[in-house]
């Protein structure tokens, strides 16, 4: 098989393609791991946000006054309930 003879412009174009392809591989080697790290951090951030929301709901629930266990006994500061 005979290879065609390339002139300078065609050789320069081939060299540019090889250089661009090499650069693209190096860029992909940085971009995709970085994107995976960002995706992982986003997942962890969402999980932490859900935990924060759960804790906030629990704290909000605890902040509400609890109803009396015995609704028939009036709260009083003295021990004599018969005079009232």
19 within some domain:
no
55 within some domain:
yes
Total of domains in the chain: 1
46 within some domain:
yes
Range of the domain at 54: 29-61
Q: What is the reported pTM?
A: 0.48
50 within some domain:
yes
Q: Check whether 48 has a pLDDT greater than 70.
A: yes
CA dihedral sign, ordered 27, 29, 30, 35: positive
41 within some domain:
yes
H/E segment holding residue 22: helix 8-63
Pairwise CA distance, residues 77 & 80, whole Å: 9
| Residue 69 banded pLDDT, cuts 50, 70, 90 | low
Percent of the chain with pLDDT over 70: 61
6 within some domain:
no
User: What are the pLDDT digits (tens) for 21-34?
Assistant: 888 888 888 888 99
Q: Which residue has the higher pLDDT, 22 or 40?
A: 40
Output the pLDDT for position 68: 60
Output the pLDDT for position 3: 53
């Amino acid at each position: 098989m005979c290879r065609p003879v390339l002139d300078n412009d065609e050789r320069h174009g081939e060299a540019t393609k090889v250089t661009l392809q090499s650069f693209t591989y190096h860029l992909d080697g940085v971009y995709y791991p970085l994107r995976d790290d960002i995706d992982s951090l986003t997942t962890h951030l969402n999980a932490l946000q859900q935990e924060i929301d759960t804790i906030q709901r629990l704290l909000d629930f605890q902040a509400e006054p609890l109803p009396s266990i015995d609704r028939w006994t009036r709260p009083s500061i003295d021990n004599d309930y018969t005079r009232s």
